[in-house]
Amino acid sequence: MSDEEMQLMKKRTLIDLINRETDQIESEQKRPGWTPWALLGALATLLWLLMKEMALKNVNWQDIGLIFLTLNLTVEGIKSFSSVLAVQNTSVSEEPRFVLSPLFGHARMYMLIILLQFSLLFYTSICLKQRILPIAKISTWILLVVTIIAGLAAFISSYYRVPYPIFQKAKWRTWGSLSLVVLTIISLFGYWSALVPGFIVYGQPDIRTATILTLVVYVLILLADVRTTSPILASLVSIRRDLALDRMDVNSATRQLDIALSGMQVRDLLQEDVKEILDYYDGVNKLSKEVIQSHKTAESFIPAVPLDLKNAELLRDLQASRALIIVSKGYLKDMTSLHKELIRSIRTFARKATRIALMDIRAAKGIEEVAKKITEAQNDAENLLAAAREQVEKVELKTSAIMRPE
């Protein structure tokens, strides 16, 4: 079988795989569940019921706030317990994989509503005058503030190229999740302890109003989380189109498909930073060769004996040597600038590599391999710069020594 036939077979296999993946995603999106129209209908009904309850004059906003806060904390507690159990039972990939935060751009409205929800809960917890256990209050404030800060960080990072791990192995994440669960349990205990004793005396309008408000909040969250198309689906369709039209070779398509389905590897995340570093190193290396060439040419014009200023030919050679020294100094200046940029890029790489390693400790091995090569390039660039400076100084000294004082 020829290479061309082999490539054609690989292309067909790859296109079949993409077709199966796109069919699976589309079938999952067509499963019965909440639709935007159903959620809008539910929201309209809830708002109509809320307006009827709000028209009543005998509602107690303190009681409504306590019930509303307790119900929201209960729902969030159930979600937290479920997510912790899901993480414990999830199979982890053998290598670290990441996605860039702009992929979460479709979820910005969802994040905004979550931020509004927890900000409202925080405000409600401050305004409540009922007697709540101090430890429960503090626990609730910590829980809400941490969630608000995390939500803001996620929303802001969605506009930048920040990597997020898909399958992470980090102890601090496990301990962080467990800490939030503990805070949630303390908060729930404190607020339910305050809610249950007076539940009999609460007015029916208060209970209905708080329940409807809670349902409105979660309908809005569901509405913001409904996705019409998957971002992965768009990537798969683009890869399939480019592959079919020969705008992409099989190897590139395989790599892009792997990234779309499984996430980016460590080398993919660091590719741009490494390229920038290598470009600066390549510039230093080329300028070093220019300095060497200018140095050799300048040395060839230097007379072997002290200069006789009356000898026009020797004087011309000396002037040519001086001109080449000026050129060499220009190259040396450019080398110094590029070396500074190289050091800056290496520091940027180191900061980014540290963040990636903190997100998933398995990334440290891949980062270490890249860091070794970068360190070698840095040392080589420093040696080239030192050698270029030495050569320029050497030619200058020779030129000065060959001249006789007048």
Model pLDDT, residue 63 = 86
Question: Per-residue pLDDT averaged across 201-211, rounded?
Answer: 81
Q: Judge residue 140's burial from the number of C-beta atoms within 10 Å of its C-beta, 0-12 exposed, 13-18 middle, 19 or more buried.
A: buried
Residues 48 and 133 in one domain: yes
220 belongs to a structural domain: yes
Which pair of structure tokens corresponds to residue 141?
Answer: 């404030």
Rounded CA gap, 122 and 108, in Å?
21
CATH number at 386 reads: 1.10.132
Residues 203 and 101 in one domain: yes
First vs last C-alpha separation in the chain: 82
User: Which one is predicted more confidently, 133 or 229?
Assistant: 133
Rounded CA gap, 85 and 149, in Å?
24
64 belongs to a structural domain: yes
How many domains does the structure of the chain reveal?
Answer: 2
| 225, 250, 281 - which closes a domain | 225
Residues 81 and 163 in one domain: yes
pLDDT at 32 over 70: no
pLDDT at 406 over 50: no
- At residue 94 the predicted structure's pLDDT band, cuts being 50, 70 and 90, is low
Mean pLDDT of all residues belonging to the chain: 80
189 belongs to a structural domain: yes
Q: What tens digit of pLDDT does each residue of 109-131 get?
A: 889 999 999 999 999 999 988 88
Residues 208 and 276 in one domain: no
Residues 199 and 276 in one domain: no
24 belongs to a structural domain: no
Q: What tens digit of pLDDT does each residue of 286-323 get?
A: 888 887 777 677 766 666 655 554 556 666 666 777 77
Model pLDDT, residue 171 = 57
280 belongs to a structural domain: yes
pLDDT at 30 over 70: no
Residues 220 and 282 in one domain: no
Range of the domain at 336: 266-402
368 belongs to a structural domain: yes
Rounded CA gap, 54 and 43, in Å?
16
Q: Give which of 330, 331, 306 is closest to 318, Cα–Cα.
A: 306
Residues 40 and 173 in one domain: yes
